[in-house]
Structure 1
């Protein structure tokens, strides 16, 4: 059970850090993508959405290469004594951010697009600066998108398997997460504990989906055109 507790702790820490990082990263990106359409934005949108359609092992493989000691990116860190980020918690965070990026960007982008032009036109008539308009109008009115993104990213990170196994392995207390622990239990024919841990994730997934439905019902607002 100590291994299970360690796996749960690593999973919660990974999901929390990934969620906070992606809310920061996805907000300006989603705002930019929501302001009009262009070929460049369509290309960026497709790149952001790649983790949805790519097999996790493919994404994990390229992340493994990118964070390996021979990677051009990692050579920049060699003077600091860092040769690789593979099989480390930092590497897991980077992989999780890439893997869950579309689950943060899309809900926030949808929320920004749903606002329409009217709130911003009103802010402009009041001589609010673009930055002030963004923080005082766009962010508060798009709160539904942020809540949805946070729940989706957290849940998606908790359920990761292929990517984290490729770049993190299964080091107890360091890179071993709940999904990998369940897989190990099944390999060891430890069905009772596998049932308990898998059942806990089922309850967690149902709670997240129910929360999303409640958020949609309570915070759903008409478009302001």
Structure 2
């Protein structure tokens, strides 16, 4: 855990010129709050920048790869790629959670595997890489770690999370998955659903969405995050 960022660079095949940028990308605000005398910058500004850089690079990739697709189709596909569950999946695959600098409270409450935190760190890393080495380096990184997993299902990339989870569970034995809608809120035109996914008697993840299917997909993505962290431990 923590700040062995040289190990991360080796894993990713990336060498930062400015190590402080890389460190900042993995510094959560809770850590800054507990180390104000020595650390002054968290990753929130880099997250803001990385979000924009991701949108641009993913847009360029989709534009070139799918010349037959309409603007509306490309927009929906991009949204499914840069959404939180998708970024969490990539962050888990790259073990980003192991390297985040967290405050003690955040650490004790499971912050290292919290989906929103992992998605933010992924964006912050992209922002730091862009500042350190430019857009070409970001494109190279994404070609290696994100773009190979982008495909066109005709709906959305999120449609694959339930399949991924089912395949992972099957690899572990004969356990069965069950999705439950446990809450439903809001007026008919703005419904919000809360879904849970269970493996036997174990709650694996929860997800929110504007449809039952969307909520189940987010629950599956968060379950993949949790199982991925368990496999790394």
Structure with higher helix content: 1
Check whether TM > 0.5.
no
Q: TM-score with structure 2 length normalisation?
A: 0.27
Q: TM-score with structure 1 length normalisation?
A: 0.27
Larger RCO: Structure 1 or Structure 2 (Cα < 8 Å, ≥ 6 residues apart)?
A: 1
Say which one has the larger Rg.
1
